[in-house]
Amino acid sequence: IGVVVESIVHMKSYLSSFINEIRLTADDSLASDRMGWNDSDFLLGEKKYTKDGEAKAVLSSARKEYQSSFSCKGSLQGWIDSVDAAYNRPGQEQYQFMVLCGFAAPLVKFLGDYRGVLVSAVSYSSGQGKTTAQNVAISVYGDPIKLSTAHKRGTINALFERLGAMGTLPFAIDEVSNIEPKELSDLAYAISQGVQKDRLNKSGGLRAQREPWQTLVLTSGNRSLISTLAADGAGREPEM
């Protein structure tokens, strides 16, 4: 019993496609779907930190796009000196708090039932340094430009996908004042629950929910978050 191969070129192409498909499905069956804590391991991009040392992380195909966001540049001492020069003086306490939230975010996992905790920075004029402090907080883990949502004006669903990918790492949402009150209300409620609202898949069934996020979500805006939520009318007391 044998197989007659009439075209070696077609056979090579078939085998190559088959092997790639197997790799993708095999990787996803064993892969991690979020950054930060995964049981007792801690993932940052393509690196996994375990009790036994550093290892290579295996990410799901949907999360591989985030690998480059966690690259290192410069030096630790340079980062320390820059943050010290910017914020280590009286009058900068609000920014110090925001930066420290970057370190505190992965600890939310150890607070029991807490999922997402909103930290809102408000000033009634632009150019006060809110976004910069957010970027410093998330720069603890990687490239703040790639990790920030400031230049990614997508849908709320896309924002949820990014939040889910970050897992237990801090997440920054810049200028929430630009989000419609109804959307912001839904967003605030979902953040506190740790999961986004149910959505349908292509076949009409419910999409499987990913593992809940547990982190600090840093927001900034020129209007109080409470005031913006209140603008959506009655029935928003749970979100507030």
Q: Express each pLDDT in 133-183 by its tens digit.
A: 999 999 999 998 888 876 556 677 788 888 888 999 999 988 887 788 888
Q: What percent of the chain has pLDDT over 70?
A: 79
pLDDT at position 29 is 46
Mean pLDDT of 78-99: 94
Q: Cα separation of 25 and 17, whole Å?
A: 12
Q: Express each pLDDT in 18-41 by its tens digit.
A: 776 665 554 444 577 789 998 899
- DSSP E strands in the chain: the ranges are 36-38, 41-44, 47-50, 53-56, 116-122, 171-173, 215-221
Residue 48 has pLDDT above 60, yes or no: yes
pTM of the prediction? 0.76
